[in-house]
Amino acid sequence: MRTGRQFVMGLLVLLLSSQGLAAKLTQLVVSANNSLVLEIDHNVDFRWFLLSHPNRLIVDIQDTQLQTSLQHIDFSSTPIATVRAGLQKSHALRLVFDLTRPQKPLVTSELAASGTKRIFINFSSTATVPVVTQTTVKNLKPIMSVTHQDRRNIVVVIDPGHGGKDPGATGRQGTHEKDVVLAISKYLAELLNNTPGYNAVLTRKGDYFIELRGRMKLARKDKADMFIAIHADAYINALARGSSVFAISAHGASSEAARWLAERENYSELGGVNLNQLNDKNNLLRSVLIDLSQNATITSSLQLGNAVLRALGQVNRLHHNKVEQAPFMVLKSPDIPSILVETGFLSNAIEEQNLRSPYYQQKIARALYQGVMDYFAQNLPEGTMLAQSAKPMRYIVTRGDTVASVAQHYRTTVAALRRVNNLRSDSLSFGQELLIPTGNNA
């Protein structure tokens, strides 16, 4: 016998199905040629229109419900700022796309053999709307990404050595290391801050003293992706000259790792892992995590050091041709690639003369900048704007495409397109997926 409850449930199901919301919008993706593709699992009618003040594109799809997330769609290659959805009284699913500028999109649709309906919205007036086959649309997954405001700049912390009561080395002409390295550091910071995607932070901006550990703490507070200490020391031998680059060694780092173990509250996070949440009474897991991070950081520091050394070799002779490893305190952060650059020797008459000159200081700063750029070209930190923009786009080959025409359309070269896709020949097949080189891959 039916209970009242079962009856109500049955009625509810009946009512819901009689609403006629039979179709589902299952996908909303941005395709490789910056078209918007909407996929609905039934053949339903739709209409679209444009509104201005503010500019919007409205798409109404009859008898359809939303079955996909509109969050985290990367619209950055389209004029779409945001999208929202609502259900109309007429049972239409209404999608409202806020546009960054007035548009005249080309809107087409097709019905696949399976009964799936696809709506293509192409904002580019020059591009032709592709006929996307059933199989290729399946491959077109929504491109997930963090939103614009989540993408951060790469943070480079620059540490001019010494300062205030500590002048560092002093040359025969009375040149203080603390002044020379501050000047070079400021030039370097300016170069980086003028580069989109980069943010340089100085541990000191004037002539004052900061403890070594205070410098490391600043780097941690600023969430540094890189730490560069800049020095110009002296040596007993006045003939000694040339630039050197130092990184920490695993041995030199071990004492700091031990400190991390001891100071739980000061260093609670490591590479996104909250160390305080570890249920680890004997510290073993903590210690392993710190070691792993430290080892990876030393590898990165050596890579950075080599890039900087190569660039410095273009403007000054090198004191050592290899990155040296020494247990300098400021290089001991277990999770921030760090180097110490000895730009030259103030104890050497020629180098003192050079290091005093703003022209030479800028030359050194440009070499350091070049080294930093070379390093990040290979090692973009996750979550940064630059890492995001370097991700290759995908493109589905349509009729009439050639390697040359695709390369031209995306302002890349045939050679880059071949390389990224391992193409042996220039013939493309319909529906073939191509990676479009961008940023570092181009």
Contacts to Zn ion by CB under 5 A: 161, 168, 231, 233
* Helix (H) or strand (E) segment spanning residue 199: strand 198-202
C-beta separation of 431 from 137 below 8 A: no
Q: Residue 342: which H helix or E strand, with range?
A: strand 338-342
User: Cβ-closest residue to Zn ion?
Assistant: 231
Is the Cβ–Cβ distance between 312 and 364 less than 8 Å? yes
- Of the pair 39, 352, the CB lying nearest Zn ion is at 352
Residue number with CB closer to Zn ion (130 or 168): 168
Least distance to Zn ion, CB of residue 188, Å: 16
Which C-beta is closer to Zn ion: that of 339 or that of 434?
339
Q: Which residues contact 96 (CB under 8 A, 6 or more apart)?
A: 56, 57, 58, 83, 84, 85, 86
Burial of 350 by CB count in 10 Å (0-12 exposed, 13-18 middle, 19+ buried)?
exposed
The answer to whether residues 158 and 189 touch, using CB atoms and an 8 Å cutoff, is yes
> Of 152 and 204, which has the nearer Cβ to Zn ion?
204
Burial class (CB in 10 A: 0-12, 13-18, 19+), 255: exposed
Structure tokens at 379: 């090692």
Considering beta carbons, is residue 346 or 386 the nearer one to Zn ion? 346
Q: Which is nearer to Zn ion, 161 or 337 (CB)?
A: 161
Smallest distance, Zn ion to C-beta of residue 237, A: 17
User: At closest approach, how far in Å is the CB of 246 from Zn ion?
Assistant: 11
Both tokens of 154, joined, read 């790469």
189: exposed, middle or buried (Cβ count in 10 Å: 0-12, 13-18, 19+): buried
Cβ closest to Zn ion, residue 39 vs residue 233: 233
Question: How many Å separate Cα 270 from the centre of its chain?
Answer: 19
Provide the minimum distance between the beta carbon of 344 and Zn ion in the complex, in angstroms, as a whole number.
11
Between CA 136 and CA 226 the distance in angstroms is 41
* Minimum distance from residue 234 beta carbon to Zn ion (Å): 9
Residue whose CB is less far from Zn ion, 230 or 434: 230
| CA–CA gap between residue 41 and residue 23 (Å, rounded) | 6
Q: Smallest distance from the beta carbon of 56 to Zn ion, in angstroms?
A: 59
Q: Please report how close the Cβ of residue 213 comes to Zn ion at its closest, in angstroms.
A: 16
CB of 331 to Zn ion, least distance (A): 13
Question: Residue 42 in contact with residue 115, Cβ under 8 Å?
Answer: yes
Q: Is 206 helix (H, G, I), strand (E, B) or coil?
A: coil
